[in-house]
Amino acid sequence: MDLIDFVPINAIEAHFEMDETLVNVVAKLNQSNDYRALFQEAFDIDTITSPFLLHALSQFTLMMISDQSKFDLYLNNKATLSNEEMKGYEIFNQKCSSCHSGVLQTDFSYRNNGIDSVFTDIGRAIITENSSDEGKFRVPSLRNITRTAPYMHNAKFNTLEEVLQHYATNVHASPTLDPLLQNNNTVGIALTQTEQRQIITFLATLTDYEFISDDRFFAP
């Protein structure tokens, strides 16, 4: 097995995600004639086991490459952004890209973005056991963001409008709040309603319609 094969275990067994056990998932799959046939075809095995399940999951996720959005085409000189999309892109670069950087719009860091002032979920601190990491969560990619509601680690917001409004007016101060959200005794990001709308217009260019309609990623 490769190291990447072990990644799904956290999602399977975490109580706030699937809240399952790997053993039980394997048992359920073995009760399915369809899945047993698929594993037989892929791996020439009669009984599904944990190593083969984890390897199948890792190979499946490695196939999930999203690189045909309008923004991707723009970066490769194959499409043009509208005036409103370009304005949104410029504002995004000015006010969002310190965290949401690069072609995946994430710096892969852990940050407290002011969702809470008191933490029911302490975030990264669960792993590090360091109080300075309380309330910090991984900065997500924004690929296909218009299709991935609800937003934030606790699914607090149902729309991108709510997300932008949070950063503009509703950031909660706390000892671990990210420094990028603090400025001259104020918290949040200065964003007008027009700027918020333009950013959302840009974010829509990150939707890869080929990817989200790919039959390989639907239930077999």
Return the ∠ at Cα 31 (arms to 34 and 220), rounded to 5°: 25
Place of tokens 């949070």: 166
Q: Which domains does the chain have, with CATH numbers?
A: 3-62 (no CATH), 70-211 (1.10.760.10)
Compute the average pLDDT of residues 90-94. Answer: 98
How would residue 24 be classed by pLDDT, with cut points 50, 70 and 90?
A: very high
Neighbours of 183 (CB within 10 A): 11
pLDDT per position as a tens digit, 52-90: 999 999 999 999 999 999 999 999 999 999 999 999 999
Cβ 105 vs Cβ 199: under 8 Å: no
pLDDT at 219: 79
Residue 93 has pLDDT above 80, yes or no: yes
- The pLDDT tens digits of the residues spanning 125-180 come to 999 999 999 999 999 999 999 999 999 999 999 999 999 999 999 999 999 999 99
Q: How confident is the model at residue 92 (pLDDT cuts 50, 70, 90)?
A: very high
Q: How confident is the model at residue 4 (pLDDT cuts 50, 70, 90)?
A: confident
Q: What's this model's pTM, rounded to 2 decimal places?
A: 0.87
Place of tokens 């007008």: 192
